[in-house]
Each structure stands twice: as C-alpha cells, then as structure tokens.
Chains A and B, each alone.
Chain A
Amino acid sequence: MAIITLPYRYLERLAGTDRQTIIDRVPMIGADIERIEEDHVDVEFFPNRPDLYSPEGVARAMRGFLGIEEGLPVYTVSPSGITFSVDPGLAGIRPVLGSAVIRNVSLDEEAIESLMGLQEALHWAVGRGRGKVAIGVHDLDAVTPPFRYIASPRDRSFVPLDFEREMTMEEILTDHPKGRDYAHLVENFENFPLIVDADDRVLSFPPIINGELTRVTTATKNILLDCTGTDRKAVMTAVNIICTALAEAGATIETVTVEDEEMPTLAPAERVVSVAECSRLLGIPLTAEEMSRLLRRMRFGAEPDGDSRVRILVPCYRSDILHDWDIFEDVAIAYGIENFDAALPATTTVAQEHPISAIARAVRSVMTGLGYLEAIPFTLTNERVLYANMQREPAPGTLRLLHPISEEQTVVRTDLLPLLMEMLLANKHRELPQRLFTVGDVVEDCVTYQKAAAVSIHPAADFSEAYAAADVLCRELSLPYTVVESADPAFLDGRRGDIVVDGKIVGVFGEIHPAVLRAFDLEHPVAALALDLRAVPGYPAEPGTP
C-alpha cells in the first residue's frame, strides 16, 4: 500500500483550507489516516488512485470535494521542440517511451523528497516494481537535445547516481544497490536500454538507474521526464500523473516529440453515462443536473446531455476509470457514503444449509455427546507430521506448496489424525483423559473433501474404546459398515480395524502404534478413529475441484 506524507503547510497552501478539515474529510474520499504528526500527516491511499500519491494530487481532489474549486482541472501544454527517438532494437526489450518537459519548477529539499516519493509510489502501483513502467527525472539544462532511447551494448559505461566513478552497465547490475535490486528485469537481454543526449552523454539506464550527470537538485529549473516500459497505457498514466502534479505546483508543461508523436496532451477522455443506471445502482433518485454537480466535485468535467445522460470529461490522471460504474462510485463518494439510507430489499429467499455442513454438524453432535472436545487444527502441515511420524507412506495426491514460508507448513493435509496427535502433544501437560475430535477439509489431487477424526489419550485407552466410538459414529451417520483387520502402520497390529462401506475402505480405528506415540512424544495409549465423510449417505456428488 502507498503511504503518502502530506506536509500541512504545503498542503494548506495548495488546498486552500486548514489541516483539520483535510484530516477530518480525507477518509471520506477513500483513504486511511496512518499517523498524525506535528508538521505532517501520513495517509494511505488505495492502489487504484495513484493520482493521489502526492500532496498536489490530494490538494486537487480535496479542493473539489470541499467545494473550493470544482470541475475539470485544465492543463495547457506548449511544444518544447525537443525530439526523442526510440531505437527499434528495443522492441523485445522495453519498447515504450513517454516523455515531457517540465519548466519553471522551484524545488526545495521537501519538494524533491515529495517528487521522489511520488516516483516510488508510482513504481509500485503503476509500474509493478519498475517492470511495467520506470520513471526518470532529469535536470534538462545539464544535457543537450535531441535525446535518443537506444538498445546499447552491455559494456557501455557511465557514472550512475550516487557513485563517483564510471561503471559499465554490467558492473552496475552487480555492484550498484539499485542494479542488484532490479537486475532481473534486464539481465536476460543481449542489449540494455539506455538514454543518451545529442553528445552521446548518458542520462539513464532504465529501469535501473539514472546518470549522476542529470541529478535533480534544488538548483534545477527545468526537468526532462522519461517513462519507459512495456505497456503504453501504464507509461502514459505515469507521465500524466507526474506532469499534472508538478503543474499544480506551478510548473509549465511542454511536449516532447517521441517518434513523431507530440506528448503529453494531458487531454481528458470523454464518456457519456446514463443517469438512470447510476440512480439504480446507488439507490438514490438523481437528475442529470444533480449528477453533473456531484461529479464536478470529484473534478470531472460534467454537463447534462439531455435529461437522461451526462457527458463527462475524465481527467487524464484518472487511470482508474475503466467503466461507467467507476464514475458512479465517484457520484456516491461526492454524495457522501455516510448520507445513504440503509435499506433491505423486499424479496423473500429461503435459507438452505449445505449438505456437507449438515453432515459435519451431525459428526459434531455425536462426538460431543461422547465427551469429545472439538479441535480446529491448521490445514497446512508438513510431511514429517503427516507421514513420517505416522509411519505412513506419503499419499500420492499430496499437494506441496511451491514457495512455503516455513518448514512447518509445506503441504496441505490429506488426513486429520496426525493433526490431532500434534494437538495432544501441545496439551501434554494438561489433565487426562483428553478426548479430541475434528471435522474438516482435506485435499488430494486438487480435490477438497471432508474427514472426521478423533483421539482419546489416557492410561486405559484401548482398541475397545476406539471400536465403540467408531461404531457409534457410523451408526449415528446411518453408515452401514463392516470391519476388517487393518494394515495401517500408524496403528498397532492386531488392534486395528478398517471401516469398509460398499467394498471400499473409508475409515480406520484402533490403538495408535507405540512408535507413533513416541514420535509425537506421547506417553499414554491413544485410541483413535478416522472417517472419510464422502461415504456418508447424502454427501454431494460434485467434488470441490479448482
């Protein structure tokens, strides 16, 4: 999530209101206040609104929301005459370039930090960690146009930011901290992306690092912006957000000619939406006039188009507007989510318990009646608990996590009994007897189904206790079963039985093998049972598949 630092003084100047009003109201446009400090407030904005990742962007939105300045913000652009060429050799590497010239900036340390913060937030939210979009800002006066974006041999060298010596691009990937962080984005290409000026001096090695040559300082007056990437829409979103934020701060924007295209235009997109559809979705009666008024507070250009439609101009920085309903949400926000009257629809529907839940409920009822306590163990476990400790062979359909986060949780459980054994270990110091049961999901071969299991530990726990419990459970679940001697190595030979239904083994019960008891560090006999609930009459036919 992007957390944006908003310095009060700067924000108050830009927004034209006081800090308390902003702190009170900013959550109602969609934000969480993280921290309120002496001189600033840290606010988390949602990932669909990267245009709010700067104090300038927040001020622009708040001016509208508070009724200080409504409607579409207009940004004028004039040509800079600068051209920027794109090497066709970049086609399979990083083909998209967006650019702009931003003049008359006045940057103090705080403004530079804020600009860097915006860049980083955009790298995360729009650039997907610089892969999709990477942004570079340069001191335009340190270099000479025209500029070229080229696919360069990997041994080309220049002085990267924060270093004093020249390094080859390959060296940068191994020796520069940013190089190491982002090497994975380029290292497989034969040539690397590079931006140079008319004198072949290096501005940037996107998406890794800029050159020291064009470092932006408090003395910088004019900026050249480069956004490179793989997705044109995302690249232009980044260009538009940065340009309009700096324009809000007083800079003027000029276009750059990138391969015959003048950019940026900072022009709004047009949409015509239905008033009735919006009214229906939000549940409030609206006129075209009212809806237009509300949208202007959200900084859209909006005018009624007859009685039933509204013609809307979407600001160029609103990359989140994909669909008409995105506009309707802004109508709701302007109306005030807190102003909606909650209501329930008149339709009648009939409740229905899922058949698996009904079976699980029956298991709970029987097992608690037998004096067992319910446990709800994790579904993620490991092969030591699931198989090795139980002296069992791994089930063929065991699902292994590709990237487990700990050695304790590497597979999805295929059985419940081992988890109950683990639970007994965790409660070793508690009074005996302990009788535990659980009912829940297991997964084999991507298919989710349910089992029930129970354990009883105390000095007199034995086969008869297990058999009696298994018999009760099966009878109460209307499960006609027979028993044959089992070969399950988790149980003691001669004291174990398989529950058989329709010729298939669907469960097991008996005395847990002493070696298994020791593997779980238990010291008393355990009588146990496990049952596959798919055998129970009424279990649904369709399995829980992906």
Chain B
Amino acid sequence: MELTLNEKRLLVTLGPMGSADAAVLAEKMDARREAVVQYAILAADRGLVDVEKHVARRYVPTEEGRAYMEKGLPERQVLESFEESIPMRDLQSHPLAKIAIGWMRKKGWIALRDGVVTKTGATAPGPDETAFARLAERGEIADGEGVADLVKRGLVAEEETVAYTVSLTPRGRELLSLGLDLREEVGTLTREQILSGEWRSLPLRRYDVTKLPKRAYPGKLHPYQRIIDEMRRILFDMGFEEMSGGIVQSSFWNFDALFQPQDHPAREMQDTFFLGERWPLPAGYERVRDMHEHGGGTSSTGWGGTWSAEKAMQCVLRTHTTSLSIQHLAAHPKPPVRAFCVGRVYRREAIDPTHLAEFEQLEGIVMDEDVNLRHLLGFLKEFYAKMGFEKVRFRPGYFPYTEPSVEPEVYVDGLGWVELGGSGIFRQEVTEPFGIEHPVLAWGLGISRVAMLRLGLRDLRQLYRSDVDWVRETPTYGGRR
C-alpha cells in the first residue's frame, strides 16, 4: 500500500489522540481543514481511518436581530418607554412604534380604548423573548422553543455547520506502529538528482493513472482540408498535375469556351454572380465565335444566331473550375495531359443547410491520344475506390460541354445510390478552337457533399463557419485510410 505523504502525516498526527476533529488536526498539521478531510477520505478508502460527518444546525442573528441584541425586542423596548397608559398619538412617535405596536397587541400586552393605550399587566416574556435573550448572551443559539418565531420574524437565520471526526482504525494503528517514512515526496526530478543518482533513494511521488489529465488541444488542419488533401493525394498518385487560377473569370472562359450558348439559363443573373467588370477576349477568340455560330470546321451545326463578344467579356465568379481546365488545355494542347484542380466555385443560391453560394469543386481532366469512354469510367472507378466508395455505377447524363456524358453514382450505406458528380468527354466544339486534337476526359465532383458524408454533417455551413470545439474534437486520423 502506497500512501501519499499527506496521508502519512495525518496518521502520525492522529496517532496520540486516536480520534480527533478535522479542525483540530488541521491546526496541528498546519493545513486547511478541507485538505485534511481530503487526506482522511483517501485514508478511509484504504481502511486506515474512519471519517464521521456531523451536521449541526445553529441560529445566528440577522442584521435586524443584531440591532435589538443590546436593548431587547422592539415591543419590550416600547412597552418600557411609558408608564401605565399613553395616548396612541404620543406612542406612535417612538422610533420602533411601527413594529412594536402590532406585536404588543398580538401578545396581549396592551389594550386600546378612546385613542389611549393601556398596559394589560400580562407582560411576562414569552419563549421567543427568552430565546432572544439567550442569543443576546451567546451570539448564537441552538434550536429550541421560540426560535421558529424568531426565524419567521427574520431576526435569526439558520446556519449549517459540518464537522468531521477522524478516528484511527485497528489497521491504521497497526500500520502506524510499523513506522512511516515522512520524508518529502519528489515530483519533477531535477537535473542534479538525475546526475548524482540521488533519484535512487528519493521517495518519488506516484501518480494516479485513473485521473484524466487536463485536456490539451493541438494546432491542426481543418477536417475539410484533410479530406481535400486526401483527394489531392489520390490524384497525385494517379499522375495528375495540379492547376490553380482565378476566382473571377470572363464569361468567355467560364461559358463560351465551353460551348455554353449565350442564351443558356445558367448565364442569367438568377443563377450566376455577375460583376460589373469586363475583361478583354484572348487572341483567337474568333474560333470560339465561329464554333457557336456555325460549328467552325467540325461536323457541328453550332448554336446558330449571332455570338456577342460584349457578352463574352462580362466577368463572373467562376461557376465551375472547368474554366481553369479549358485554359490549361489551351496552354497545353499537346498530349498527354493529366490535370486536376480543387477550387471554390460560386452559384447564386440562397444559403441554407444544404445549399451554399460558394463551395469546393474538384475537377480532373485527361487528354491523350486514343483515350475513350472506357478510360473515363476507369479513372472514375479508381478515384472513387480510393476515396472509399467501393461500389460505383454509371448512367447516361447531360452536361453542356461533354458528349458523351456520364453520371457516376456511388453506393453509401444507409443512403443507397448517391449521385456524386458528373463526367464526360469534352465536345469537339470545346476542344477544336484551341487546337486540341485528342479526346479530353473530364469529371467534376462537389466535394463539400463528400465531406458531409464523411464527417457526418447535417449542415454544410459548418465547414466554413466552423465551431472551434468541433474542429478540436474531430480526430486527425479518421481511422478509414
């Protein structure tokens, strides 16, 4: 049995007395009474002492009660201020009259007739007054006859006092008789103690492993950033180069270069954040114009109508990172290209738990000689599998800038098949104006949805306006990958 130093000191102090009040022990040990009780309870757990708790009630004067302690209760003071009788009007001028008259009448000490107050003669002190006199004498009283009345009048208040009696048990006495080492226990070892070897002979404090330490919080990455990094890592592993670019895009790169017709609903101000700024069109924009108007040099008919350069210059907050993909391809038109990007995209949507005006999109593109639809499905399967979605299936889809288009779905326990992004092969109308001669496989993924699934969030806003405690408590390693 390993006792703490404090327990040992308690036993040694208690030894000559056998039994003592904690307050007495505290004085002898030069410690606070509360601390001594703590030591005693620990020692009691080991069966070395018994701790007995006594609760006592006592009554002490209130502020008002203290005011009367010297001269007695107000009704007694006022009664003694006059002889046999006094006109009521004169009596009322006494400073305590207000309280006293009522009590004198209630106790039957006085009678009132024709405006004159007369003593009845039955003015002996009642139990309340006797109790009050005792209080005046000792400063406090125990419960007894009349005390309840004084409590009711607000003259005394109840106080609870707790006392502890600590007594040695036979086991404690036995241990004590064997002698105890009262040397100071050592907490943190010093350099000298370590070098000198003194640590060997020191009483080292032992710590209670069942007591949890104070909680510490490390600095760490946001849980969402960790998921983003995990996806980036997967794409690096698959040989992809990372892209980055502007949040603000001209309509040309956001829409026109992707063969979105100029009257497409996504290009209206209800769906997209437009800015007042204009940005000049890149050299060679005419090829995009021709593609829209009549299909350029391809088998396409184009959209027909007249293409407006003015409309293409309007700046928007990018609605997808595909605007970066097409610019990357325009700058690198020769195969092979494997590139990806994770970036914020913007939709003009009212904010609620499942809709935000801005969120992250992940996008991958693969351009190479002879890549085809089967390879698109291959990349998607591989990517989703590494993300932990083992079951993937594909359905026909529609996206304005891909043909064919495919909607991947993943199986999520408890939710069933969940649509997770879109994919396809860039239309020739998209690639041809930039001299890209080989098919471009492309897919995009709203990763905030993946984060919601992974982190078990119900409200997307938690990702961006995070509760610090949630970040602190979300483990760095999720245990999955």
Task: Give A residues with C-beta under 8 Å from B.
Answer: 27-30, 46-49, 128, 131-132, 231, 233, 271, 273, 280-284, 322-326, 328-329, 332-333, 337-338, 340-345, 347-354, 356-357, 364, 367-380, 399-406, 409, 412, 423, 426-427, 430-431, 434-436, 441, 443, 446-448, 543-546
Q: Is the CB of B269 within 8 A of A403?
A: yes
Give bound CA distance, A131 to B336, whole Å.
Answer: 44
- In the complex, what's the smallest C-beta–C-beta distance from B398 to chain A, in angstroms? 3
Q: Is the CB of B377 within 8 A of A322?
A: no
Q: Is the CB of B464 within 8 A of A378?
A: yes
**Which residues of the other chain, A, contact B300 by a CB distance below 8 angstroms?**
322-323
Q: Is the CB of A351 within 8 A of B277?
A: no
The 8 A-B residue pairs whose C-beta atoms are closest, nearest first, are A283-B372, A544-B246, A46-B398, A283-B374, A329-B404, A30-B396, A323-B300, A349-B239
Q: CB < 8 Å: which of B240, B244, B378 contacts A342?
A: B378
The count of chain B contact residues (Cβ–Cβ below 8 Å) is 96
**Which residues of the other chain, B, contact A49 by a CB distance below 8 angstroms?**
398
Give bound CA distance, A426 to B469, whole Å.
Answer: 11
- In the complex, what's the smallest C-beta–C-beta distance from B30 to chain A, in angstroms? 34
Give bound CA distance, A386 to B305, whole Å.
Answer: 43
Q: Is the CB of A231 within 8 A of B304?
A: yes
Residues A546 and B246 in contact in the complex (CB < 8 Å), given A281-B372, A281-B439, A427-B467: yes
Q: Is the CB of A405 within 8 A of B263?
A: no
5 sample A-B contacts, Cβ–Cβ < 8 Å, listed by A number: A325-B425, A337-B406, A341-B374, A401-B274, A546-B253
**Which residues of the other chain, A, contact B238 by a CB distance below 8 angstroms?**
351
Q: Is the CB of A436 within 8 A of B375?
A: no
Residues A405 and B338 in contact in the complex (CB < 8 Å), given A48-B398, A373-B468: no
Residues A349 and B404 in contact in the complex (CB < 8 Å), given A434-B468, A448-B248: no
Is B289 in contact with chain A by the CB < 8 A criterion?
no
A-binding segment of B18-26, B85-93, B180-188, B345-353 = B345-353
Residues A325 and B428 in contact in the complex (CB < 8 Å), given A353-B236, A546-B253: yes
Give bound CA distance, A283 to B379, whole Å.
Answer: 14
- In the complex, what's the smallest C-beta–C-beta distance from A540 to chain B, in angstroms? 8
- In the complex, what's the smallest C-beta–C-beta distance from B239 to chain A, in angstroms? 4
A-binding segment of B5-13, B47-55, B122-130, B217-225 = B217-225
Q: Is the CB of A405 within 8 A of B379?
A: no
Is B344 in contact with chain A by the CB < 8 A criterion?
yes
- In the complex, what's the smallest C-beta–C-beta distance from A439 to chain B, in angstroms? 9
Q: Is the CB of A349 within 8 A of B219?
A: no
Is B72 in contact with chain A by the CB < 8 A criterion?
no
- In the complex, what's the smallest C-beta–C-beta distance from B255 to chain A, in angstroms? 12
Q: Is the CB of A374 within 8 A of B301?
A: no
Give bound CA distance, A371 to B298, whole Å.
Answer: 58
Residues A373 and B471 in contact in the complex (CB < 8 Å), given A281-B439, A323-B298, A351-B237: yes
Kindly supply a per-residue 1/0 record for chain B positions 293-315, scoring 1 wherever the CB is within 8 Å of any chain A CB and 0 otherwise: 00100111111110000000001
Is B325 in contact with chain A by the CB < 8 A criterion?
no
Give bound CA distance, A379 to B464, whole Å.
Answer: 10
Q: CB < 8 Å: which of B404, B429, B464 contacts A377?
A: B464
Interface centre among B221, B222, B275, B403 (most CB of A within 10 A): B403
